[in-house]
Copies of this chain bind each other. A is one copy, B any other.
């Protein structure tokens, strides 16, 4: 089985998601700048996986720092955190992970110890913390899967959009984790995967990882989902999330909003599966979630080959926001939240929310 991301002695090892499914290639990021670039250029993508990568990037940067004074290391930490944080604006898991690394860093800096010991402790503890975030993420996904599997029928066909699978996380997946858990419980689950233009995460990644697991998957173009809902082929839709506001509005891969509207129109439940680290209670609604606009040539070109005339404009919002009224449930490791989300999401955080 492939690994999405792993800490190694040489650096942060990642499967190159831009080259799947044609080639299963792994790249090693040897410094935090390379990790930041890998997040930005989508070598690694998926909100939880970005969180893990961000943590590992911070750990790598601090580990390699030549600073021999706490003040120098602190300045370097801020440089590293800023570089990692500037890669992609929408997925809050990135900021959550950097925030968690910062708290560990501050703890070591506040230790009663000589400077050299603090620096050594910071380097060690940040590497441990990043690996812990990865291990926790897989455990969290299994809990999400268990909670979500209860919502699935004994036999059904589920639509998913983009890739919220093992490749989007430390492993197992959020939306695809729910499907994996349902199948593990003996349910007959078939998947329809939206290809998810322009980056084709569905065609390239979801189809690939489900086929590897022997889970029945049928690929469709994004514009077919509504048709198959209307035809009665699909009985539920389940997606991941990049950021969830306090009122339950969900930012996720562009096209998710359309899936949600079409599901509601066809009386099909629309579920969102995400770890608690994706929930950002500091934002009262999805209107406040920053939406990344990526390069237009990712729309006008495919694998570098133009698919449109050279002289036209294109737009490329990478995410959209689905208003909470279309969301039947938000499945987390802490339980399943339903309307009213302002209350149900808050209840998932008895000790407060630290996503950003």
Contact = CB atoms under 8 A, between A and B. Distances in A.
Given A265-B265, A299-B219, A224 B254 contact: yes
Interface in A166-224: 192, 194-198, 200, 203-204, 207-208, 210-211, 216-224
B320 A218 contact: no
Q: How many copies does the complex hold?
A: 2
Given A197-B223, A222-B222, A223-B254, A207 B262 contact: no
Contact of A302 (B227, B300, B302, B314): B302
A308 B195 contact: yes
A311 interface: yes
A221 B195 CA distance: 11
B21 A223 contact: no
A313 interface: yes
A226 B308 contact: no
Contacts of A230: 257, 320-321
B227 A317 contact: yes
Chain A interface bracket (under 10, 10 to 19, 20 to 34, 35 or more): 35 or more
Contact of A218 (B204, B223, B228, B314): B314
A192 to B, nearest CB: 8
B257 A203 contact: no
A255 interface: yes
A195 B195 contact: no
Contacts of A265: 261, 265
A197 B211 contact: no
Given A197-B221, A313-B217, A315-B224, A207 B308 contact: yes
A53 B205 CA distance: 41
A114 interface: no
Nearest to A255: B223
Q: Interface majority SS on A: helix, strand, loop or mixed?
A: mixed
A308 to B, nearest CB: 4
A258 interface: yes
Interface in A280-328: 299-300, 302-303, 305-309, 311-315, 317, 320-321
Contacts of A220: 299, 314-315
A225 interface: yes
A9 interface: no
A1 interface: no
Given A221-B254, A257-B230, A315-B224, A203 B320 contact: no
A307 B258 contact: no
A230 B258 CA distance: 10
Nearest to A200: B307
Interface of A: 21-22, 161, 192, 194-198, 200, 203-204, 207-208, 210-211, 216-228, 230, 254-255, 257-258, 261-262, 265, 299-300, 302-303, 305-309, 311-315, 317, 320-321
Across the A-B interface, the 9 shortest Cβ-Cβ residue pairs: A223-B255, A226-B258, A197-B221, A227-B320, A219-B314, A222-B223, A203-B308, A21-B309, A218-B313
12 contacts: A204-B308, A211-B309, A217-B312, A218-B314, A222-B223, A223-B258, A224-B254, A224-B255, A230-B257, A261-B262, A262-B262, A302-B307
